[in-house]
Amino acid sequence: MPNIKSAIKRVKTTEVRNSQNTTAKSAMRTAVKKVEAAVTANNSAAVNESLAGAASKLDKAAAKGLIHKNAAARKKSRLAKKANAL
């Protein structure tokens, strides 16, 4: 544990941000998995609904810097391609 006051604060804020980032990234991955599960189940109504949510989560993750913006675009494109194949 650091002794300097500013370093103590950095440790605390890092823990808080790491927790928030982990939660957001996990929610993003879950949304993507929901789309893929709906695609494998051939449920077009669920695909359309979950695709919008997944795209939103990916965009928010990219805006926060959790993933690169091109990675978000690539994932959205691949999900849309799978959804359109139904």
State residue 1's pLDDT score. Answer: 86
Checking if the pLDDT of 64 tops 90, the result is: yes
CATH label of the domain that carries residue 73: 1.20.58.110
What is the pTM assigned to this prediction?
Answer: 0.87
- The domain in which residue 74 lies consists of 5-84
Total structural domains within the chain: 1
Q: Which residues contact 1 (CB under 8 A, 6 or more apart)?
A: 8, 11
pLDDT surpassing 90 at residue 74: yes
